[in-house]
């Protein structure tokens, strides 16, 4: 059965689809759902389904939750400033900034709404800054344009010729959020299984039969009424293992971070971002004061040689072959030779990394940078080399697969969970009515 691509929120009564009300009527009173992935999207989805009464089992291949993208990002709650108006990123990200802040505060997770400056460091960036302000306004994000004197009222040590002030940006402990979500799953009667890898799944009659493997207990067969896969760095492979075409290939990009030494960190009050470079699909090196007072600088973005390649020396040949055999990677590289080379060189030189930071925070030197844990971004690429720029979800009868969920996915995770819930209802309804 070919999968269906979903790039919008499903509407009740959409042509050819059961309404949400009808889909729920077709469901059994208690539905068994397996959710694959113990990152923030998988846990947010599992908690939402468990709270409404579904019998939820979470499968996570690692022996701890939030080990990969969720636990290795900068902890920013994004406002929704950067994303194309009308996209899922824009709508769910903007709503997610509010719901994530509220959720963390209600459950005692460290969170702070610090605000953010996006700074233009030369006159050539003014037009791009203005375009960004217009996009933010279109997304409903409160944005103020500032001159250099006004900007220094927020960040006295920052260099700029103009800036945007975004008050709704903040920081949070995403690992702490995941701990709360996992507890909600268990409190609602669900199960969280660690060290359990999804090998394959297939729909047989009214069941989804799932093959799993654990290092300690070997192979297991599970049965459920529905399957939700939030596979992160392995989302495309897991979709294929379940008979669903992901429609894109995951290519890993390592983001390297540094912590600022105290003398430099004391000069940063909140969050400071550069104007995004239109030549390159990432936001650039920025400064983030976290919920515990530390200040991160980064990330850059270099192609990783393993999907879990957090160090330069990490190489997984299967991952290398997967990336190198995808024509989209070569087309992306061809269009980004100069900025891509700059990222590689900066990765190899702490002095050059410090130079990038000093454009925002003058006087920063290599001695001010202390290595911090790196992260790997799971970026989905089309065959033509274009980035899958929005969240991408694929569905099939009784299955929902989150294929592409880069930033601001952590910010938007509670809203993505709501979206996946609706997609699952539709997928269950279509399975019953076939």
Tell me, yes or no, whether 228 and 183 share the same domain.
yes
Per-residue pLDDT, 278: 67
What whole-number distance in Å separates Cα of residue 198 and Cα of residue 59?
A: 8
pLDDT > 70 in the chain, percent: 91
Residues 186 and 145 in one domain: no
The pLDDT mean for the chain works out to: 91
Beta bridge partners of 369: 260
Whether residue 99 is contained in a domain is answered as no
Q: DSSP label at 275? A: P
In this structure, the answer to whether residues 271 and 316 fall within a common structural domain is yes
Burial class (CB in 10 A: 0-12, 13-18, 19+), 97: buried
Quick check: 18 pLDDT over 50?
A: no
The residue count of the chain comes to 434
Could you tell me if 283 and 164 lie in one domain?
Answer: yes
Beta carbons within 8 Å of 314's beta carbon, 6+ residues apart: 304, 305, 306, 308
Label residue 29 by pLDDT band (50, 70, 90): low
pLDDT at 26 over 60: no
How many Cβ atoms from other residues are within 10 Å of residue 348's Cβ? 10
Does residue 257 surpass a pLDDT of 80? yes
Are the C-beta atoms of residues 381 and 62 closer than 8 Å to each other? no
Residues 6+ apart with CB under 8 A from 68: 39, 62, 232, 233, 308, 375, 376
The answer to whether position 90 is within a domain reads no
Buried b (16+ CB within 10 A) or exposed e, 235-251: bbbbbebbebebbbbbb
Q: How far apart are CA 416 and CA 232, in angstroms?
A: 14
pLDDT at 24 over 60: no
The region of weakest confidence among 109-123, 274-288, 311-325 is 274-288
Residues 6+ apart with CB under 8 A from 139: 80, 81, 83, 85, 90, 93, 94
Give the per-residue pLDDT at 172. Answer: 98
Q: Choose among 349, 404, 385, 395: nearest CA to 41.
A: 404
Range of the structural domain that residue 425 is part of: 4-69+175-247+389-433
Query: What CATH code is carried by the domain that includes residue 22?
Result: 3.50.50.60
For residue 45, CA distances in Å to 51, 78, 90, 417 come to 10, 20, 19, 4
Within-domain flag for 296: yes
Single residue among 379, 402, 420 that ends a domain in this structure: 379
Q: CB count, 10 Å around CB of 44?
A: 30
Dihedral, CA of residue 94, residue 96, residue 97 and residue 102, to nearest 10: 140
Within-domain flag for 105 = no
372 and 270 in a single domain? The answer is: yes
Dist CA 421 CA 168 (whole Å): 27
Same domain, 258 and 239: no
- Looking at the fold, whether 147 and 261 belong to one and the same domain comes out as yes
Answer whether residue 356 is part of any domain.
yes
Q: Does the pLDDT at position 207 exceed 70?
A: yes
* Residue 410, domain member (yes or no): yes
Is residue 433 very low, low, confident or very high in pLDDT (cuts 50, 70, 90)? very low
* pLDDT given for residue 9 in this prediction: 36
Query: Which pLDDT score, from 0 to 100, does residue 284 have?
Result: 82
Answer yes or no: do 280 and 345 share one domain: yes
Q: Which residues lie below 8 Å from residue 63, measured CB to CB, with a gap of 6+?
A: 194, 195
Specify the pLDDT at position 341: 86
Are residues 228 and 278 part of one domain?
no
Domains contained in the chain, number:
2
Is 282 a member of any domain?
A: yes
Which parts of 68-114 fold into alpha helices (H)? 88-106
Of 337, 360, 379, which one is at a domain's C-terminal end? 379
CA-based nearest residue to 114, from 81, 155, 144, 83: 155
Q: Name the pTM for this structure.
A: 0.91
35 and 230 Cβ atoms separated by less than 8 Å: yes
Q: Could you tell me if 387 and 281 are in contact, meaning their C-beta atoms sit under 8 angstroms apart?
A: yes
Q: Do 140 and 270 have their domain in common?
A: yes
Identify whether 192 is part of a domain. Answer: yes
Picking from 281, 289, 288, the residue whose alpha carbon sits closest to that of residue 407 is 281
Structural contact between residues 384 and 331, judged by C-beta atoms closer than 8 angstroms: yes
Query: Is pLDDT at 375 greater than 60 in this prediction?
Result: yes
Instruction: Report whether 196 contacts 61 (CB < 8 A).
Output: yes
CB atoms near residue 207 (< 10 Å): 15
pLDDT, tens only, 331-363: 998 988 887 888 899 999 999 999 999 999 999
Tell me the per-residue pLDDT of 186-202, one tens digit each, with 9 for 90 and over: 999 999 999 999 999 99
CATH of the domain at 365: 3.30.9.10
Q: How far apart are the first and last CA of the chain?
A: 11
pLDDT digits (tens, 9 = 90+) for 60-90: 999 999 999 999 999 999 999 999 999 999 9
Do both 185 and 164 map to the same domain?
Answer: no
Q: What is the mean pLDDT of residues 298-320?
A: 95
Highest mean pLDDT, choosing among 25-29, 97-101, 343-347, 427-431: 97-101
Q: Are residues 261 and 340 in the same domain?
A: yes
């Amino acid at each position: 059965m070919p999968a269906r691509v979903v790039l919008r929120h499903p509407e009740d009564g959409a042509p050819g689809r059961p309404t949400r009300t009808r889909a729920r009527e077709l469901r059994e009173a208690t539905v068994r759902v397996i959710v694959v992935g113990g990152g923030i999207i998988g846990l947010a989805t599992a908690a939402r389904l468990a709270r409404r009464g579904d019998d939820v089992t979470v499968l996570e291949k690692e022996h701890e939750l939030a080990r990969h993208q969720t636990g290795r990002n900068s902890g920013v709650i994004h406002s929704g400033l950067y994303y194309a108006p009308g996209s899922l990123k824009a709508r769910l990200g903007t709503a997610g900034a509010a719901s994530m802040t509220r959720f963390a505060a209600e459950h005692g997770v460290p969170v702070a709404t610090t605000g953010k400056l996006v700074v233009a460091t030369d006159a050539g960036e003014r037009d791009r800054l203005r375009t960004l302000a217009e996009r933010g306004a279109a997304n409903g994000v409160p944005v103020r344009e500032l001159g250099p004197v006004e900007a220094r009222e927020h960040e006295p040590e920052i260099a700029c010729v103009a800036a945007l002030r975004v008050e709704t940006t903040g920081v949070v402990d995403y690992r702490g959020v995941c701990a709360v979500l996992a507890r909600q799953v268990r409190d609602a009667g669900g199960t969280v299984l660690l060290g359990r890898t999804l090998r394959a799944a297939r729909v047989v009659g009214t069941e989804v039969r799932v093959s799993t493997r654990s290092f300690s207990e070997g192979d297991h067969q599970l049965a459920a009424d529905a399957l939700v896969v939030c596979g992160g760095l392995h989302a495309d492979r897991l979709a294929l293992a379940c008979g669903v075409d992901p429609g894109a290939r995951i290519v890993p990009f390592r983001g390297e971070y540094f912590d600022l030494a105290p003398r430099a960190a004391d000069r940063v009050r909140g969050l400071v971002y550069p104007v995004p470079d239109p030549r390159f699909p990432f936001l650039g090196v920025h400064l983030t004061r976290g919920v515990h007072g530390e200040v991160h600088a980064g990330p850059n973005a270099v192609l990783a040689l393993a999907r879990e390649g957090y160090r330069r020396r990490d190489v997984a040949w299967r991952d290398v072959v997967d990336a190198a055999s995808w024509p989209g990677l070569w087309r992306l590289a061809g269009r980004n030779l100069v900025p891509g080379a700059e990222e590689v060189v900066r990765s190899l030189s702490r002095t050059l990394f410090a130079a990038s930071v000093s454009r925002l925070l003058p006087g920063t030197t290599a001695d001010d940078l202390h290595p911090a844990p790196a992260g790997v971004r799971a970026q989905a690429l089309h065959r033509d080399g274009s980035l899958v720029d929005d969240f991408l979800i694929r569905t099939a009868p009784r299955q929902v697969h989150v294929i592409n969920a880069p930033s601001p996915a952590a910010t938007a995770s509670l809203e993505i969970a709501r979206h996946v819930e609706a997609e699952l209802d539709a997928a269950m309804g279509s399975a019953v009515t076939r």
